[in-house]
Amino acid sequence: RMGNAEMKAKHFDAALEFFTSSRTETPLKGIEDKIKEVKKLKEEADRLAYINPEEGLKAKERGNQFFMEGNYPAAIKQYDEAIRRDPTNASFYNNRGTAFSKLMDYGRALDDIQKALELDPQYVKAYMRRGNIEFALKQYHRAKRSFARGLEIDEKDAGCQEGLEKTVRKIFETSRMPPDPEQQRRSKEDPEIKALLADPSLNQVLQQISQNPQKANELLSDPAIKDKFDTLVAAGMIRLG
């Protein structure tokens, strides 16, 4: 009873002490579940008590300094602190994602950038960062969309403009070169590309084009089919030259 009362009053340390002593002295049914519940509530209360946006900004500035010095692990630690202090600030995730990308930890980098965009869907810089990571991974079909999405929000953004231009050039170049095994391997792991490769209507068009290349423009007149075709080209699954 004392443990329940302390838990209700949000005195989690005291509640945990009562429940733990009850477990050792006179074990009660469900006591382990109570201990787990109190620990979880205490952890959440501690997390909320630690939130301080002002301190988060200070940690971000320290992280930025380490980033400029090229000390990316130290920068990440400061961005970790910034996020603990204010988990609602999209720029903290964007900065940490950028630091992860410098270490070529692209998986965690993309996770952070995606979190930044969930918090702020209009965050143009995050679209630019995501596009650059996707470009580095040779996911040109995704990079093209990321840069284009950023430009839909701000058509004058230099980072997205430059990113889109270099991606379009790269798609043109790679589509006329021998297949890139690394790019094709990654593309085949992409759920979107898998679905396109299994699309019956698209496969029918591709077969007709291979049999009669002169009819390609006519066969690709449907915007939906053309978009799918262009995606496979950008993903390195179709060669044009």
- Average per-residue pLDDT in the chain? 89
Query: 205: exposed, middle or buried (C-beta count within 10 Å: 0-12, 13-18, 19+)?
Result: buried
Structure confidence at residue 89 (pLDDT): 98
Q: Is 69 left (phi over 0), alpha (psi -120 to 50) or beta?
A: alpha
State the Cα–Cα distance between residues 3 and 160, nearest whole angstrom.
57
* Per-state percent for the chain, helix, strand, coil, to nearest 5: 80, 0, 20
Model's pTM, two decimal places? Answer: 0.79
Sole residue written with tokens 């009660």: 28
| Percent of the chain surpassing pLDDT 90 | 77
Question: What tokens does 168 get?
Answer: 């379009």
Predicted confidence at residue 36, as pLDDT, reads: 74
Tell me what pLDDT residue 67 has.
Answer: 98
Confidence of residue 11 (pLDDT cuts 50, 70, 90): low
Per-residue pLDDT band at 115 (split at 50, 70, 90): very high
